[in-house]
Structure 1
Amino acid sequence: MFIQKYFEEFKLNDVRQTKGRTITETDIVIHAGQSGDFFPHHMDEEWCKSQPFKKRIAHGTLIFTVAVGLTADFVNEVSMTYGYERLRFIKPVFINDTIKVTVTIKELKDHKKPEYGLVTELVECFNQHNELVMLCEHILMVKKGNS
């Protein structure tokens, strides 16, 4: 879906939630192939039995990618991603865990280009037990409606 949501239309503390997505072994294998990260934490079930979590964990970069993808349920034609900050992996995600994302508008401020503003979204990713597993800030550069 395509929308046009200008900077002035964003409101502090507005919240939206995504649907869930189950992380599969296939996701982990494909991500390892695409990223080149074949560390045993993700790929070696037997080795993992000797480690603190006792089983394979999903790549943090996989969880970040899926979480961001879950938030992309529309295209705002008057904004673009400016970047991500403060990325943290709080808890591991395992095969067959289901993640969902809550997005909260955290900050609104002017950009050096006066026709744009910066919208900072707090992106919080939770597992099926409602435990926080990942968070970051997504910064959007959004056109102002009065420009």
Structure 2
Amino acid sequence: MFIKKYYEEFELEETRETLGRTITETDIVMHAGQTGDFFPHHMDAEWCKTQPFKERIAHGTLIFSVAVGMTAQVINEVAMTYGYERLRFTKPVFIGDTIRVKVSIKDKKDHKRPAYGLVTELVEVFNQKDELVMLCEHILLTEKKQ
């Protein structure tokens, strides 16, 4: 779905949430192949049994990319990604975990180009136990109403 939501229309503390998505072994294998990250933490079930978490963990970059994709339910024709900041992986995600994403408008400020503003979204990813597993700030370059 396409919308036009201008800088002035974003409200602080406004939130939206996604549905859940279960992380599979296939997700991990595909991500390893795409990135070249075959570290044993992600790929070697037997080795992981000797480690503190006792099982394979999903790549942080996999969780980040899946979470960002989950939030792309609506295309805002007057905004684009300006960048991501303060990315943190607070808990591991395991095969079979189901993640969901909560996005909250955290900040708004003017941009050096007067026709635009910057909208900062707090992106929080939770597992099926409601534990925070990842968070970051997503910055949108958003047109102002003319």
Q: Same fold by TM (over 0.5)?
A: yes
Per-residue deviation, 1:35: 0.3
Moved over 6 A (4+): none
CA deviation map 1:70-91 (0-9, x unaligned)? 1000110000000000000000
- The answer to whether residue 40 in structure 2 is matched with residue 40 in structure 1 is yes
CA deviation map 1:46-95 (0-9, x unaligned)? 00000000000000000000000010001100000000000000000000
Paired residue for 2:137? 137
SS of 1:136's equivalent in the other structure is strand
Paired residue for 2:115? 115
Q: Which runs of 5+ in 1 are unaligned?
A: none
* Counterpart Cα distance in 2 of 1:144 and 1:17: 25
- The answer to whether residue 127 in structure 2 is matched with residue 127 in structure 1 is yes
RMSD: 0.3
Paired residue for 1:56? 56
- The answer to whether residue 33 in structure 2 is matched with residue 25 in structure 1 is no
Tell me the TM-score normalized by structure 1: 0.99
Q: How many residues align?
A: 146
Tell me the TM-score normalized by structure 2: 1.00
Q: Identity, % of aligned pairs?
A: 75
